[in-house]
Amino acid sequence: MSNTEHPADQVSDDSLLAAIDLGSNSFHVVVARLSQGELSTVDIMSEKVQLAADIDSHKRLSFEAMERGLACLSRFSQLLSDLPRDAVKVVATSALRESSNSYIFTQQAEKILGVPIEIIAGREEARLIYLGVSHTLANTTGSRLVIDIGGGSTECIIGEHFEPLEMESLHMGCVSYTHRFFSDGCITEKNFKHAEHAAMRELLSIRERFKKLGWTSSVGSSGTIKAIKNACIASGFSEESITRPALEQLKQKILSFEKLSELEIDGVKAERTAILPAGLAILIALFHSLEIEEMTFSDGALREGLLYDMAGRLRHEDIRERSISALMKRYHVDESHAQRIEHTALNALSQVKSSWELNAHSYQEMLSWAARTHEIGLTIAHNQFHKHSAYLLRHSDLAGFTNPEQQLLSFLVRGSRRKFPKDDFKQLPDNRKQAYKRLCILLRLSAILHRSRSGVSIPLVTLKADGKKLSLSFADGALANHPLTQSDLEQEIDYLKNADIKLSIR
């Protein structure tokens, strides 16, 4: 697979799409064909990696766990070899979200796969899970509660049709709870109760809010709930769905064993039995706290949600656009002014994208979103508003955006005026620094040209870029009639020296 970014239009209807989910317990890849707006699965692979296993007290992934993960991705990469870069999406969840040394793994993983690893926030994980589940179920009336117990976190979502209404990601998972409550390898009533009570304490933060909103049906997704469902059916505790009495019966069956290593449950794969008690304790707590009586199962999960999210973007139904529009409304952005800056910035990008290697469609998207949101901080205070804007973009829950995307967007806005933010720049991934420095400069210049907010900017004749050199040319006499703009651009020459860019104005 090529390591260069492709324009979005290289992926079209009747194309193959691939989604990879790097979970705390298992890695999954699904390849599907997009045809007439529908997705049909072509290939699926799943491997138990247990990336979250043996995380130490400093939240560092173990070398052995990372090696298992990289070996798995080497096998996955064979399925992706003929796909364009924009046809593949790779996301990581709790283990890489929480670990302090995740960058070691992601750098090596990106070399193997040839695409970036996007570490997503818990709420974004919940949104994608709901999207995957809702597309695999009948589009019935009424709201549904969707629960996904992963290796390191549990996502709870209430939604209607394809829209999530309430989402939360909780710090409890079958792998993390196994290490926390069953680390001695023993299965006891005491260990089980401790795990249940810990999960119920975690659920206190959402219990009343979720119950107040309510739902008409509940659905589980992913491996842990699937294993519990299979165990209940194979043991004769239930027929099709998971019920509260069936969970209690399964609990008693598990407690009849003394060791995790001895645990054998009909319907459950051997590699999943060791984490089954922790997963069951969490699900029992969910049933009790949220007063669930019965739960069905859906084969849709995070990876399917990724595919439908990618397909939606191809049909120009990008949830990120809605997030940006909602943010602008929430913080009362002057939309006309933002659109003028956006238009100028995109025009500037069109002139330098070849010479500055900014051809990827994602650069146009990010510059556009930065132009539209760079003034959201004005709602907080005019002084240092660009810093307030950057903070809001970095720390808000923005549906559709990954953590790295929010970091990059925040950087563009933080650097949209005044001194170039060297400290923020240093924190960017090495393979993004040059491109996002250049995008930041285009946004800065566009904001300067529209500082008067009059709706009339100085006509920019040409903009040429050559490595670290950038030249702006104006019509004869244009700057003389706009002394404030001329002064700002002269100041900008000094600012950009600190960014190692030589700006010249003619």
Q: What angle do CA 78, 130, 162 make, to 5 degrees?
A: 115
> Both 294 and 338 in a single domain?
no
Residues 6+ apart with CB under 8 A from 172: 153, 154, 198, 199, 202, 282
> Both 414 and 499 in a single domain?
yes
> Both 358 and 283 in a single domain?
no
> Both 44 and 106 in a single domain?
yes
- pLDDT value of residue 462: 86
Q: What angle do CA 350, 354, 355 make, to 5 degrees?
A: 110
Q: Is residue 100 part of a domain?
A: yes
Q: What angle do CA 290, 272, 121 make, to 5 degrees?
A: 55
- pLDDT tens per residue across span 409-455: 999 999 999 999 999 999 998 889 999 999 999 999 999 999 888 76
Distance CA 325, CA 139 (A): 27
- pLDDT tens per residue across span 43-61: 999 999 989 887 888 899 9
Q: Is residue 3 part of a domain?
A: no
> Both 217 and 293 in a single domain?
yes
Distance CA 494, CA 502 (A): 9
- pLDDT value of residue 11: 52
- Domain around 262: 137-298
> Both 370 and 247 in a single domain?
no
> Both 73 and 198 in a single domain?
no
Q: Is residue 105 part of a domain?
A: yes
- pLDDT tens per residue across span 318-353: 788 888 999 999 999 999 999 999 999 999 999 999
> Both 358 and 481 in a single domain?
yes
> Both 356 and 286 in a single domain?
no
> Both 376 and 349 in a single domain?
yes
Span between the terminal Cα atoms of the chain, in Å: 43
CA 267 to chain centre: 33
CATH number of the domain encompassing residue 71: 3.30.420.40
Distance CA 404, CA 121 (A): 10
Average pLDDT taken over every residue of the chain: 91
Please identify, among 312, 334, 366, the residue that sits at the C-terminal boundary of a domain: 312
Instruction: Scan for tokens 């940006």, then name that residue.
Output: 324
Q: Using 50, 70 and 90 to split pLDDT, how confident is the model at 135?
A: confident
- pLDDT value of residue 5: 44
Q: How many domains does the chain have?
A: 3
Please identify, among 263, 284, 312, the residue that sits at the C-terminal boundary of a domain: 312
Secondary structure (3-state) at 30? strand
Q: Show the tokens assigned to 448.
A: 């300067």
Query: Residue 10: is its pLDDT beyond 60?
Result: no
Secondary structure (3-state) at 241? coil
Please give the full DSSP string across 326-372, using - where no structure is assigned.
HHHHHTT--HHHHHHHHHHHHHHHHHHTTTTT--SHHHHHHHHHHHH
Q: Is residue 346 part of a domain?
A: yes
Q: Is residue 317 part of a domain?
A: no
- pLDDT tens per residue across span 476-490: 778 888 888 889 999
Secondary structure (3-state) at 10? helix
- pLDDT value of residue 37: 67
Would you put residue 484 in left (φ > 0), alpha (ψ -120 to 50) or beta?
Answer: alpha
**Listed residue (334, 343, 360) closest to 442, CA to CA:** 343
Residues 6+ apart with CB under 8 A from 78: none
Mean pLDDT of 34-40: 76
- pLDDT value of residue 399: 83
Query: Residue 249: is its pLDDT beyond 70?
Result: yes
Mean pLDDT of 15-44: 88
CATH number of the domain encompassing residue 194: 3.30.420.150
pLDDT above 90 as % of the chain: 76
Q: Using 50, 70 and 90 to split pLDDT, how confident is the model at 461?
A: low
Distance CA 238, CA 242 (A): 7
CATH number of the domain encompassing residue 427: 1.10.3210.10
Query: Residue 228: is its pLDDT beyond 80?
Result: yes
Q: Is residue 132 part of a domain?
A: no
Q: Is residue 453 part of a domain?
A: yes
Task: Record the pTM.
Answer: 0.76
Distance CA 454, CA 481 (A): 14
Query: Residue 400: is its pLDDT beyond 90?
Result: no
Least confident stretch, 176-190, 259-273, 470-484: 470-484
- pLDDT value of residue 2: 40
Quote the longest CA-to-CA distance of the chain.
89
Query: Residue 148: is its pLDDT beyond 50?
Result: yes
Mean pLDDT of 458-470: 85
> Both 345 and 229 in a single domain?
no
Distance CA 101, CA 354 (A): 35
- pLDDT value of residue 316: 66
More confident of the two residues 399 and 211:
211
- pLDDT value of residue 53: 82
147 residue type, one letter? I
- pLDDT value of residue 139: 66
Q: Is residue 319 part of a domain?
A: no
- pLDDT value of residue 412: 97
> Both 400 and 431 in a single domain?
yes
122 within 8 A of 41, measured Cβ to Cβ: no
- pLDDT value of residue 62: 94
Query: Residue 8: is its pLDDT beyond 50?
Result: no
- List beta partners, residue 154: 149, 170
